[in-house]
Amino acid sequence: MQRIILFFALLSVLGCAGAKKAGHSNPYNGTWIPVKQEMNGKPFPASILSGQQLIISDSIYIFQEYGTDKGVITYHKNKMDIYGREGVNAGKHFTAIFKYENDQLVICYNLAADNYPTAFETTSKPTLFLSVFKRK
């Protein structure tokens, strides 16, 4: 009998540990529109940015441009790991750093995914891609 009680007590504790706390959603949830993008220190023309949007819902992302790219994001302090599940980036893994300041979400991606970027700077770094987003 004690083993059964202990078993259910353990299940209860594990269930509570895995549950999300009410009211603690991801502060980056929402729809984001790019206001600036650059690669290798060169800014992209504004015409390329129109029609793009990034939707974040907890650990799920959807990026829409000419098609839809979907996947999973994991967060570690100011770092992200991005795993493509559907679309052009299906099966790919990207590393990134990010920050949220002045009502903008800034993400610097390493498209080679061999390490995390060390700064929000792409000059002379052809595998880095910088995006600055504002909330829609």
Residue 24 is predicted with a pLDDT of: 56
Query: Measured between alpha carbons, how far is 49 from 111 in angstroms, rounded to an integer?
Result: 19
Residue 84 is predicted with a pLDDT of: 97
Residue 97 is predicted with a pLDDT of: 98
Residue 93 is predicted with a pLDDT of: 97
Residue 1 is predicted with a pLDDT of: 35
DSSP class of 24? -
pLDDT in tens, 6-35: 333 333 333 333 344 445 578 999 999 999
How confident is the model over 94-117, as a mean pLDDT?
96
3-state helix, strand, coil in the chain (%, to 5): 15, 45, 40
How confident is the model over 115-136, as a mean pLDDT?
97
Q: For residue 62, what pLDDT band results from cuts at 50, 70 and 90?
A: very high
Let me know if 87 is exposed, middle or buried by CB neighbors in 10 A (0-12, 13-18, 19+).
Answer: middle
Let me know if 119 is exposed, middle or buried by CB neighbors in 10 A (0-12, 13-18, 19+).
Answer: exposed
Tell me which H or E stretch contains 48: helix 46-49
**Whole-number average pLDDT of the chain:** 85
Angle at 83 between CA 20 and CA 46, to 5 degrees: 105
Query: Measured between alpha carbons, how far is 104 from 21 in angstroms, rounded to an integer?
Result: 26
CB atoms within 10 A of CB 115: 9
Residue 108 is predicted with a pLDDT of: 98
| Domains of the chain, CATH where assigned | 28-135 (2.40.128.490)
